[in-house]
Amino acid sequence: MIKKILLTLILLFSTNISADDINLWKKSTLNKIIEKGVLTVGMEPGYMPFEMKDKKGRIIGFDVDIAKNMAKAMGVKLKIVPTTFDGIIASLLTGQFDIIISGMTVTQSRNLKVNFSDSYLVVGQTLLLNKKLKNTVKNAKDLDKAGNIVVAKLGQTGEIVARKFFKNAKVITFETEADAVSEVLSGRASAFINDQPYNVVFMDSKGKNTLIHLDTPLTYEPLAFAIKKGDPDFLNWLNNYLKQIKEDKVLNTHEKLYKKWFVDTKWLKRVQ
């Protein structure tokens, strides 16, 4: 009798687990993407070489190619929703897109609001310095003096790091990277802080003979995809997708895209 009761309980429990799994899948963003046949991605064009607009107004970049490859792997179309970075998490949470692929650094405060995939790239914050300071500033500590001005893009990790590192220098934020770094080019600011890849590309295109790149990273920053919380199926798919494009040595998807946007700078002609 006891065995029959236990068997019945096990069967009921298993049935409930199966039903819960099915309901969870039905609510998954991944399931909805497949049903509608479109992957909607939020990103802010203007962060070279991750996402930016070319001369014809088309959004191109490393993240864009990642998103295209992801949509292809899902068997759906891709739709990009241009979004300002300081409001991008709020836009995700209100359902304006399915996922954030926008060079977003994993931080604990952001992780309270969204779930992050495994990292698809690791970067760090570096400084583009006004050339006039080359004899007096060799590192971040030298820069942190009253009278110096450090600029950053509003809402990005650079702003967070700037306010942490620079207690004596003045920190000013701008809506775009271009506006911020132009302050250094014009001599109105001492230095610009941003992700290393962006600074490397900027030095190669516009910073030669005008700025100094203090290229030792001040931070360790894994970049990842951000999705809504409570969606294990979508997160599982994304992490397996990342593992595949990184580890598959036949296709070399991740490596090819990295070389295309971070090693070879031919694409600069398309945006300048």
Decide: 60 and 54 in contact? Cβ < 8 Å: yes
**Closest of 80, 81, 71 to residue 33, by C-alpha:** 71
- Residues in a beta bridge with 125: 195
pLDDT at 68: 98
b/e for 172-195, b at 16 or more Cβ within 10 A?
ebbeebeebbbbbbeeebbbbbbb
What mean pLDDT is predicted for residues 187-202?
94
**Three-class DSSP category at 197:** helix
133-146 pLDDT per residue, tens: 999 999 999 999 99
pLDDT at 14: 52
Q: Rounded to whole angstroms, how far apart are CA atoms 50 and 35?
A: 28
Nearest-5° Cα angle at 151, 157 to 113: 20
**Continuous segment of H or E residues that includes residue 129:** strand 125-130
126-172 pLDDT per residue, tens: 999 999 999 999 999 999 999 999 999 998 889 999 999 999 999 99
Model confidence at 17: pLDDT above 80: no
Dihedral sign for Cα 237, 78, 222, 28, please: negative
DSSP E strands: which ranges in 46-104? Answer: 52-53, 59-60, 77-82, 99-100
Count Cβ atoms below 10 Å from residue 69 Cβ, excluding itself.
17
More confident residue, 104 or 9: 104
Q: Rounded to whole angstroms, how far apart are CA atoms 11 and 92?
A: 39
61-81 pLDDT per residue, tens: 999 999 999 999 999 999 999
pLDDT cut 70: percent of the chain above it: 93
**Three-class DSSP category at 224:** strand
Please list, in sequence order, all residues whose beta carbon lies within 8 angstroms of the beta carbon of residue 148, skipping any fewer than 6 positions away: 133, 137, 166, 168, 169, 170, 190, 191
Model confidence at 264: pLDDT above 90: no
Question: Considering just the CA atoms, what is the radius of gyration of the chain in Å?
Answer: 22
pLDDT at 9: 45
pLDDT band at residue 23, thresholds of 50, 70 and 90? confident
User: What domains are there in the chain, each with its CATH number?
Assistant: 7-122+225-271 (3.40.190.10), 125-214 (3.40.190.10)
Q: What would the two tokens of residue 150 be?
A: 């450090």
